[in-house]
Chains A and B, each alone.
Chain A
């Protein structure tokens, strides 16, 4: 549920001057205190000053040769002869050299023992880049193995050769897009000073298209910050981050730290965040803790102090880590606050209910927009469950939506897509393109991107169907066996889907596989998905899950009620039996007992039937509302409340 007030369509704050003023203050502040020590900065001003060559990304001239051919942006012409590729890789290598030029050997204080004065220390920035000659050598040797963000190009799914081949074309694309952005900003009267624009044009279809085609990498930090209205948030919370850091510094006491179990988990995760990115690798920093890891610790601990309801949840290390590659600590912190509340509500909470809700929503989306795939994801169980429940008097509505409660096995794979916003799920450049859209278009884009991935591997998912059939066939002679085999084959089939769903995304190295092939194709149904639908679906799924849970609790109650009733009936029988042999003077008494007990049992049975009826009513009266179902949306109170009320009324009736 997107809760931050304010019209999502109006993000242009209208008080740009304010933002500029506070931005200046912010820059001062960050150099004094908590500036992220190691924003790697393919975009940092001082990088440019110290470098003899202008970064190619910032130079419109460099992009000129391709500009004309790119007029029609729907029709990309990738010119591989241009040497921008190498320049971009060089750019990265230069940056490393720069970092080392700045190196000095001063010690970094540990965060927990750090005093205010040390934070004030103005050599923070230089310390941040404390490298060493040995680092210089090692990175110089290896630079071509890493991408412009510092990630190793090669992984289990993509070879360096494949990466370089792709990058040759994609870097051209980036240059062309950058040029377009520069023109757009200039036309809107916004400055691109120092290649670090801080304001962007007002929302429009055109801007949305530009964002979807990718924000220039070196502008990303600023653009994300602008689109999520980060400065507004920061202005409302001045000094909060600094105070959290002070509070964190006060956590010296072992005793105190023990109490915060999150600290342990955070510590364990620091070195397990982007181990294949040079900014996070000890070896690159003389085996001292990389500044980036120190920043990461501060952001995560500060967050766990700031929001105890979430504390620390594994996956936030990746979110914060990626943010830190693009912006300083304080902004990364607020972005994390915004992501976990506005875009992924409840997902990182202690009970992870948000994860389940979003998985339910994703299933609804697949059912709605990719029905061909849905059939493969959710076929058998439905029937099986129907059988199981036949004996119980359960509403068809519960059955119809059972996949919202008992999530299909596929969600075992897709849950992490949302928790980390695709970090580690798909290659980094594609992830970043999705993040661009997430911050401009809000959370529905995560669902849209997920659907696009499913759409891309639709053929892989569907092609296994024949196997499915043959397995069922050769077991036909014995009906007993059939169910067994078809269950087995469904299991096998699930495994197939897991394999596909887990490995396919890892190969989407080219973001335009998702964007050009799916997102930009208007006729593909899933592109109709919008934020309102997601908001409604989230509400719907969360309500349904709650009711189902209450319902389960009630069923549990009823089971025990039934048992009690049975026991009472038994008692009655025993009493009756006894009565036969009893003396007549006891007879009156036990008959009284008998009457009381049987009417209690009766009322319990009535209540059970009542609950069932009520449940049927309530669950079927809700609609989740993709656009077509919109008219009849209406919500009911929690069923548990209503049952309680009725129970109370009944008790009263019974007493009188």
Chain B
């Protein structure tokens, strides 16, 4: 099992907590308490490739502008970031873009996986007039910036798991590269330790059973 830290960023009320809740508990509440500071959750998924289990340790942050000053504490050691906007509110995309910029400027790790997520897809499926961010615009931006991109609905659950799966796959492929290059550098001796590391939490992590 591999563990990764993931942080959710985005304007208030775009549905960050709802997405996490859908992912972790597979449920949705029309009215969920607004987040204060941040909440910590975790959830594991299994990738198709090699049956790898990935455990996400998730920080769901508060979206109000002023909480921005606390955000660096949350993304400090993150491996992945989910930057969420609301496809029915165009200003939330520009907020998301400023988050992407901040991440690129402040996070030293160039392996940071960033995924742009447009939420509340269900609203636009009901009534296409509600859409105020075109999928092509967002997609183009994501491509330019080298981000993963999805439109999802926390309410119906559509594509939510795909988001985490694809983040997991990216992280896993980075990890494999890293380990590979390491074992090449260090010769055969370290090979055993690479395996050891991959297995480590499965044998000793007492939390692996919970959520």
Which A residues contact B (CB, under 8 angstroms)? Answer: 261, 265, 268-269, 271-275, 313-315, 317-318, 350-352, 355, 407, 409, 411-413, 415-416, 419-420, 424, 464, 467, 470-471, 474-475, 478, 481, 491-492, 495-496, 498-499, 502
Tally of contacts, chain A with chain B, CB under 8 A: 98
Query: How close is B189's CB to chain A, nearest CB, in angstroms?
Result: 9
Complex: A320 Cα to B211 Cα, angstroms: 32
For residue B183, which residues in chain A have a CB less than 8 angstroms away from its CB?
Answer: none
Check B206 for interface membership: any CB of A closer than 8 A.
yes
Is A470 in contact with B34, judged by CB distance below 8 angstroms?
Answer: no
* Contact assessment for A275 and B37 in the assembled complex, using a CB-CB cutoff below 8 Å: no
The chain A residue with its CB closest to the CB of B25 is A156
Which residue of B is nearest A349, CB measured? B66
Interface of chain A: mostly helix, strand, loop or mixed: helix
B64 touches A273 (CB 8 A): no
Q: Are A416 and B73 in contact (CB under 8 A)?
A: no
CB within 8 Å for A416 and B33 given contacts A265-B64, A471-B204: no
Within the complex, the shortest CB–CB distance from A594 to chain B, in Å, comes to: 39
CB distance from A119 to the nearest CB of B (A): 28
- Nearest CB in chain B: distance from A426 CB, A: 13
- Most chain A CB inside 10 Å of its own CB: which residue of B34, B35, B69: B34
Residues of A within 8 A of B196 (CB): 474
Which of B38-46, B99-107, B158-166 contacts its partner?
A: B38-46
CB pair A413–B3 under 8 Å, yes or no, is no
Q: Is there a chain A Cβ closer than 8 Å to B191's Cβ?
A: no
Q: A415-B37, A502-B40 are in contact. Are A495 and B73 (CB under 8 A)?
A: no
A352 near B70 (CB under 8 angstroms)?
Answer: yes
Contact B73 A424 (CB under 8 A): no
A-contacting residues, B23-76, CB 8 Å:
29, 31-40, 42, 57, 59, 62, 64-67, 69-70, 73-74
With A352-B66, A415-B70 already in contact, the answer to whether A268 and B34 are too (CB < 8 A) is yes
Q: Are B69 and A352 in contact (CB under 8 A)?
A: yes
A411 lies within 8 A of B73 (CB): yes
The CA of A444 and the CA of B50, in the complex, are separated in Å by: 53
CA of A367 to CA of B197 in the docked complex: distance in angstroms? 34
Minimum Cβ distance to chain B for residue A54 (Å): 36
List the A side residues contacting B188 at CB < 8 Å: none
Contact A412 B38 (CB under 8 A): yes
Shortest distance from the beta carbon of A114 to any chain B beta carbon, whole Å: 24
**Which residues of A sit under 8 angstroms from B205, Cβ to Cβ?**
492
Knowing A352-B66, A491-B77, A492-B205, say if A416 contacts B37 (CB, 8 Å). yes
> Which A residue sits closest to B37, measured CB to CB?
A416
Kindly list chain B residues whose C-beta atoms are within 8 Å of the C-beta of A313.
64, 66
**B32 lies within 8 A of A272 (CB):** yes
* A-B CB contact pairs (8 Å), 27 listed: A265-B12, A268-B12, A269-B13, A269-B34, A273-B34, A313-B66, A314-B35, A318-B36, A351-B69, A355-B37, A412-B73, A412-B74, A413-B37, A415-B70, A416-B38, A419-B36, A424-B33, A467-B206, A470-B204, A474-B196, A478-B190, A492-B205, A495-B207, A496-B207, A499-B207, A499-B210, A502-B39
Contact of A314 among B34, B73, B190, B201 (CB under 8 A): B34
State in angstroms the CA–CA spacing of A315 and B62 once bound together. Answer: 10
Q: List B residues 162-208 near A (Cβ within 8 Å).
A: 190, 193, 196, 200-201, 204-207
Report the separation of the CA atoms of residues A396 and B57 in the bound assembly, to the nearest whole angstrom: 34
* Chain B residue, CB-CB nearest to A261: B65
Q: Report the separation of the CA atoms of residues A498 and B58 in the bound assembly, to the nearest whole angstrom.
A: 11
Interchain nearest-CB distance for B3 vs A (Å): 7
**Apart from A271-B31, A352-B69: 8 A-B pairs, beta carbons within 8 A:** A265-B64, A272-B31, A314-B12, A411-B73, A424-B33, A474-B196, A478-B190, A498-B57
- Taken together as a complex, chains A and B put the C-alpha atoms of A245 and B33 apart, in Å, by 26
A446 CB to nearest chain B CB (Å): 15
Q: Are B39 and A355 neighbours in the complex by a CB distance under 8 Å?
A: no
Q: Are B33 and A273 in contact (CB under 8 A)?
A: yes
A-side contacts of B37, CB under 8 Å:
315, 355, 412-413, 415-416, 419
A247 to B198, CA, bound (A): 62
- What separation, in Å, do the CA atoms of A589 and B205 have in the docked complex? 72
Are A478 and B193 interface neighbours, CB within 8 A?
Answer: yes
Contacts of A274 in B (CB 8 A): 33
Q: Is the CB of B36 within 8 A of A416?
A: yes
The answer on a CB contact under 8 Å between B206 and A424 is no
CA distance A492 to B40 in the complex (A): 14
Most A Cβ at <10 Å: residue of B12, B37, B62, B207: B37
Asked whether B34 lies within 8 Å of A317 as measured between CB atoms, the reply is yes
The 10 closest A-B pairs by CB, nearest first: A416-B37, A275-B31, A272-B34, A416-B36, A268-B13, A415-B37, A315-B36, A498-B40, A314-B64, A269-B34
Instruction: Compute how far the CA of A411 lies from the CA of B70 in the bound complex, rounded to whole angstroms.
Output: 10
Contact across chains for B36 and A420 when beta carbons are under 8 A apart: yes
Question: Which residues of chain B come closer than 8 Å to A419, judged between CB atoms?
Answer: 36-37
Which B-chain residue is minimally distant from A498 (CB atoms)? Answer: B40
Chain B residues positioned under 8 Å from A268 (CB to CB) = 12-13, 34
Chain A hits for B210, CB < 8 A: 499
Task: Identify which of A412, A416, A470, A478 gathers the most chain B CB atoms within 10 Å of its CB.
Answer: A412
The residues of A that contact B3 with a CB separation of less than 8 Å are 492, 495
Known contacts being A275-B29, A409-B73, is A499 close to B40, with CB within 8 Å?
yes
